[in-house]
């Protein structure tokens, strides 16, 4: 197969010099970027068989979402936003009754939504019940991602999700082996531990050893997302995890809303990666505008990436909505114009994500030798005019409706607004059908405050 030339675009490279190239070109050869630069120069130096006219287009590296629950898309926006019992009485019955078919279509839906909004790589949160079904969906869509499976050993309920420490670790090792045998270079697997209050010390240590022994990362979910004074077990602190030896540069921790100076010091010292999920945190009343210290983490050199979280937390997996919120909320909470400039937030959605997923040498920017994971925006939309400061436009003005095409590993998975390899209508119909059946099995129903006739 010959090379593909994307020609005439404004290219936001996110490279070490943060070059933004007018009338630029990218050459894709196989899965990789062979060249990026001024169009005339690139065309004189490289041959190509396909040319995509990208006049009036803007090219950006694909977004990287570091915390997504694929499965929950099957029951998006089911849980009332005033349900304080959302976890035990809503989510747990759903997860306890989730079938492989549910998870397959939920994953297809989430992956379609990610691609359509520019996310080319994601990390599952560690809540897959049938990860083989999720892997199949990822292959069909063509998205890059890291999978994990339901991993806890402390909670006895629901009984269908109960696991001993040994079983939780064994299941993780089996899944890592299964994904490796798929031999699909866009799908990886990490041990992903569900939560600080649902995993024993033995499970955390075992999961870290498993990650280290195979050169993988380890994802901790949902840490420091309740104030310490409400934490049932005060031993679940970063200091405790440091003492256990599980804090490290290959560890990603999600949320981290309530942190003190010692926590920031530990995150910095051990080069732990933080996944910040603003939309879910806000819907769940975590107080990030009051307590969140994410700008301080970034200033301290800690990697802070962004995650959409779940379909009843943020209810979407749209990175453009997330970066808009992050750029706004901390300026307001700190009452400081200098907090989280648009450029920094774009770095969090790309480069920090790549670092968090241990892929900074292969994704996160448009550079020669990296994977060709690209978003191509079409400027034939009002929000793209005038184009005076592309970082500002991307963060504050642009929505996903102007995303024209998406490449992942050099493969065009979204072409002029259409998913290339997926019958979207078939997915939507099956999700709608399966969600009703799942609610019946789980014994839950939406609470409608307005009459539906």
Bridge-based pairing state of the strands 187-189 and 192-193: unpaired
Minimum distance between the CB of residue 68 and Zn ion, rounded to whole angstroms? 8
Q: By C-beta, is 24 or 195 nearer to Zn ion?
A: 195
Q: By C-beta, is 309 or 373 nearer to Zn ion?
A: 309
Bridge-based pairing state of the strands 144-147 and 192-193: unpaired
Minimum distance between the CB of residue 29 and Zn ion, rounded to whole angstroms? 37
Minimum distance between the CB of residue 313 and Zn ion, rounded to whole angstroms? 6
Q: By C-beta, is 74 or 398 nearer to Zn ion?
A: 74
Q: By C-beta, is 113 or 309 nearer to Zn ion?
A: 309
Minimum distance between the CB of residue 280 and Zn ion, rounded to whole angstroms? 6
Residues near Zn ion (CB under 5 A) = 125, 309
Q: By C-beta, is 87 or 368 nearer to Zn ion?
A: 87
Q: By C-beta, is 26 or 128 nearer to Zn ion?
A: 128
Q: By C-beta, is 208 or 255 nearer to Zn ion?
A: 255
Minimum distance between the CB of residue 127 and Zn ion, rounded to whole angstroms? 7
Minimum distance between the CB of residue 67 and Zn ion, rounded to whole angstroms? 6
Q: By C-beta, is 123 or 395 nearer to Zn ion?
A: 123
Minimum distance between the CB of residue 196 and Zn ion, rounded to whole angstroms? 12
The closest of 25, 60, 59 to 44, measured between CA atoms, is 25
Q: By C-beta, is 73 or 379 nearer to Zn ion?
A: 73
**Terminal-residue alpha carbon distance, the chain:** 55
Minimum distance between the CB of residue 17 and Zn ion, rounded to whole angstroms? 35
Euclidean distance between CA atoms 273 and 110, whole angstroms? 24
Minimum distance between the CB of residue 70 and Zn ion, rounded to whole angstroms? 11
């Amino acid at each position: 197969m010959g090379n593909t030339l994307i020609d005439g675009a404004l290219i936001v490279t996110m490279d070490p010099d943060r070059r933004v190239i007018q009338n630029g070109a990218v050459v894709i050869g196989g899965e990789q970027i062979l060249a990026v630069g001024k169009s005339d120069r690139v065309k004189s130096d490289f041959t190509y068989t396909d040319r995509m006219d990208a006049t009036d287009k803007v090219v950006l590296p694909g977004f990287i979402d570091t915390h997504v629950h694929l499965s929950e898309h099957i029951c998006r926006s089911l849980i009332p936003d005033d349900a304080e019992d959302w976890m035990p009485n809503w989510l747990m019955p759903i997860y306890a009754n989730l079938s492989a078919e549910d998870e397959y279509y939920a994953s297809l839906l989430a992956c379609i939504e990610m691609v359509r909004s520019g996310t080319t790589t994601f990390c599952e949160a560690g809540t897959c019940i049938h990860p083989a079904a999720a892997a199949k969906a990822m292959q069909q869509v063509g998205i890059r991602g890291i999978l994990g499976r339901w991993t806890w050993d402390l909670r006895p309920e629901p009984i269908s999700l109960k696991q001993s420490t040994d079983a939780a670790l064994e299941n993780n090792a089996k899944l890592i082996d299964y994904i490796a045998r798929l031999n699909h270079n866009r799908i990886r697997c990490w041990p992903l531990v569900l939560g600080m209050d649902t995993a024993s010390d033995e499970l955390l240590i075992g999961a870290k050893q498993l990650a280290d022994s195979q050169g993988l990362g380890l994802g901790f979910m949902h840490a420091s997302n309740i104030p310490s004074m409400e934490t049932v077990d005060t031993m679940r602190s970063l200091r405790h995890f440091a003492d256990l030896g599980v804090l490290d540069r290959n560890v990603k921790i999600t949320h981290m809303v309530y942190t003190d100076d010692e926590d920031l010091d530990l995150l910095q010292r051990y080069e732990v990666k933080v996944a910040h999920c603003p939309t879910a945190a806000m819907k769940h009343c975590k107080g990030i505008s009051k307590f969140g210290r994410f700008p301080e983490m970034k200033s301290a050199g800690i990697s802070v990436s962004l995650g959409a979280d779940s379909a009843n937390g943020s209810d979407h997996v749209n990175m453009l909505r997330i970066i808009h919120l992050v750029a706004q909320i901390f300026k307001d909470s700190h009452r400081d114009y200098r907090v989280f400039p648009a450029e920094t937030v774009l770095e969090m959605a790309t480069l920090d994500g790549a670092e968090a997923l241990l892929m900074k040498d292969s994704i996160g920017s448009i550079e020669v030798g990296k994977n060709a994971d690209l978003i191509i925006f079409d400027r034939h939309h009002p929000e793209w005019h005038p184009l005076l400061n592309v970082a500002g436009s991307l963060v504050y003005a642009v929505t996903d409706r102007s995303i024209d095409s998406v490449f992942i590993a050099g493969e065009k998975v979204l072409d002029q607004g259409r998913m290339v390899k997926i019958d979207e209508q078939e997915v939507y119909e099956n999700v709608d059908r399966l969600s009703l059946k799942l609610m019946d099995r789980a014994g839950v129903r939406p609470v409608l405050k307005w009459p539906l006739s």
